[in-house]
A = this chain, B = another copy of it.
Amino acid sequence: MGKLVEEFNNYREKMNDRIMETANTNIKRFFALDTTSYADGALDVKTKEMLGLVASMVLRCDDCIKYHLGKCHDAGVNNDEMNEIFMIANLVGGSIVIPHYRRAVEYWDDLLSSEAGV
């Protein structure tokens, strides 16, 4: 697994565990909704993860972007599709998104390198 991917996943998992220890019922329900909303339904998982990614990019949240890049990779989004998502995110969100796009490209490369067994 690529180094960026591993670091992101480890911290996310550690803190989600801590949240499950400390959070109240409403927060746990909110996290449950966060899971079920991306499940296969009228829209398939791939489409929903692309929606989650573009929303994360225009709102400029690096960790959210990394999470949905990982899920998009799992769902089989290819490079050409990813570039079209990147374009819509840059267009709608503006050049202020570009630094996040740079880090997204770096993370996407990291995901692809781990796929290649590097």
What is A's interface to B at a CB cutoff of 8 Å? Answer: 11-12, 15-16, 18-19, 22-24, 26-27, 29-31, 33-34, 36-38, 41-43, 47-48, 50-52, 54-56, 58-64, 78-81, 83-99, 101-103, 105-106, 109
> Which 5 residue pairs across A and B have the least CB separation, nearest first?
A94-B94, A63-B99, A42-B80, A15-B102, A24-B83
Residues A42 and B84 in contact, CB atoms below 8 Å apart: yes
Taken together, the copies of this chain in the complex come to: 6
Residues A19 and B105 in contact, CB atoms below 8 Å apart: yes
Residues A91 and B33 in contact, CB atoms below 8 Å apart: yes
Known interface pairs A50-B51, A87-B26; A96-B99 also in contact (CB < 8 Å): no
